[in-house]
A and B are shown apart, each in its own frame.
Chain A
Amino acid sequence: MLKISQLRKTFNNTMPVLKGIDLTLEQGEVMAVIGPSGTGKSTLLRCINFLERPDSGVIKIDGIKVNASRAKNSEIYKLRRKTSMVFQNYNLFKNMTALENVMEPMITIQKLDRKTAEERAHDLLSKVGLSDKSGFYPRKMSGGQQQRVGIARALASDAKVILFDEPTSSLDPELIGEVLDVIRRVAKANITMLIVTHEMKFAREIADTMIFLEDGVVAGKGTPEEIFEHSGNERIRRFVNRVMEA
């Protein structure tokens, strides 16, 4: 489904952030990306949809292949349609209601007619438990509600992979649960997901596979059990112990 090879990114000639990342996701696989802060986890996600342009590497997704060092705009648009993203700060369109936010990719990208888009958007909103908020503008919703709309919007696009960029990091603690519940439900629906998160218990429970990113390289890879319990890597063990204590 998604295959990334030798992805590299350096910001303004400083230290390289990504030093040749390889990873593969199968259809329906949920992969969690963990690791200390500042190791390029978010950059990795943002390079996959070219919100940050990678310096080099190849991204293959659902039959299309983009070589980062010479990607054309048309290829980037195609690639972006294959992915969608859930942001740390939700990034809902503030000039649109919850319903219109979810309809937006269906109207602008998939060119569905308004009626079909509206029906599907209502379905998606009820899936994230927000049927009653469809006419609300983002300003009138809590962070948790906004993020659930963000997830519904990501599902509304015809993306093959959903990228979650720390979806609960800017939420008040009491709102994290509702968002995690929605992500759990999405994961069960056989949707391919790549999740950057600091919620270790959640990551462990939801992920099929995990990668441990450190200093711009994949320092460990495996099932949650392998990463959490049988990791031969000293640094992974120390990181896991530290975050699990907290």
Chain B
Amino acid sequence: MLFDINNFTSLFPIVLSALGLTSEIAVWSLIGTLILSVIIAITRYYRVPVMTQFFDVFITIFRATPLVVELFMIFFALPCIFPALRAMTPFQATVLSLIFNTSAFMAESFRAALESVDKGQIEACYSLGMTKRQAMTRVILPQAFVVAVPSIGNHFIGIIKGTALGFTVGLADVMGTAKMEAALSLRFFEAYLCVTIVYVAIVLAVEFLLRLIERKMQNLY
């Protein structure tokens, strides 16, 4: 038989049981990416010496390399030279490479969002005696964040899809589980069709949520 419907339907519970791991990778990566890209963006916004150059190199490298190369570098290559890194789990390596890769792109969107806050408001902060930090946390960041929401959403979808690379370092996430099932039954079409449907469903659900958030944000201020 070309298409084994029983095999196909029986795959869903198995693959969906890995949804927890996939979401965990995605959520931790998102949190880490938000933190790191805000730090990079603020550093570049104020042109902090040394740090700015450091992050420029960081961004160049991580924008120019495929995610899978970064993951292998972090998980397989670097521990050969730095033994301390051998304690790293596949989960941590996947999350780290997703954070670094996505931040290299998102930091730029964040910086553009920071620049979009007009200089007049910042002058108003200073004229009242506020420090740079107060101006940043109370006036610039809250407005920049709203501007950046659509781009954060897009990058989050990228992260979700990126989690599928976890299987290359041995994670039994959605993709990893499907691959194992395919290898056992040799029913590749069923397994990868199942995984395709699962990812489409996740991304559609997330996009729906993002659109709700965006609409809320638009009318925020």
Contact = CB atoms under 8 A, between A and B. Distances in A.
Q: Determine if chain A interacts with chain B.
A: yes
Interface of A: 49-51, 77-78, 80-81, 83-85, 87, 89, 91-95, 104-105, 108-109, 137-139, 153, 157, 163
Given A87-B124, A91-B121, A109 B129 contact: yes
Contact of B120 (A78, A84, A89, A163): A89
- The listed residue with most A CB atoms (<10 A of its CB), out of B130, B146, B220, is B130
B124 A85 contact: yes
Contact of B221 (A84, A89, A95): A95
Given A87-B120, A95-B143, A157 B221 contact: no
A93 B127 contact: no
Nearest to A94: B221
Given A95-B221, A139-B221, A49 B127 contact: yes
Contacts, number: 66
Contacts of A89: 120
B124 A80 contact: no
Nearest to A78: B129
Interface in B102-136: 118, 120-121, 123-131, 134
B221 A108 contact: no
Instruction: Name, among A81, A84, A108, A157, the residue most crowded by chain B CB atoms within 10 Å (CB to CB).
Output: A108
A92 B143 contact: no
A120 to B, nearest CB: 15
Contacts of B123: 51, 85, 87, 91
B164 to A, nearest CB: 37
**Interface of B (DSSP majority class):** helix
A85 B128 CA distance: 8
Contacts of A50: 126
A93 B129 contact: no
Interface in B180-221: 220-221
Nearest to A77: B129
A239 B40 CA distance: 52
B139 interface: yes
Given A93-B139, A104-B138, A77 B127 contact: no
A95 B122 CA distance: 12
B139 A157 contact: no
15 contacts: A77-B129, A78-B129, A80-B128, A85-B124, A87-B124, A89-B120, A91-B118, A91-B121, A91-B124, A92-B121, A93-B138, A95-B146, A109-B128, A157-B128, A157-B129
Given A93-B139, A95-B221, A139-B221, A108 B124 contact: no
A85 B127 CA distance: 6
A85 B125 CA distance: 10
A67 B74 CA distance: 54
Contacts of B146: 95
Question: Most chain-B CB neighbours within 10 Å: which of A78, A94, A153?
Answer: A94
Contacts of B158: none
Contacts of A137: 221
A51 B126 contact: yes
B129 A94 contact: no
B20 interface: no
A139 B221 CA distance: 7
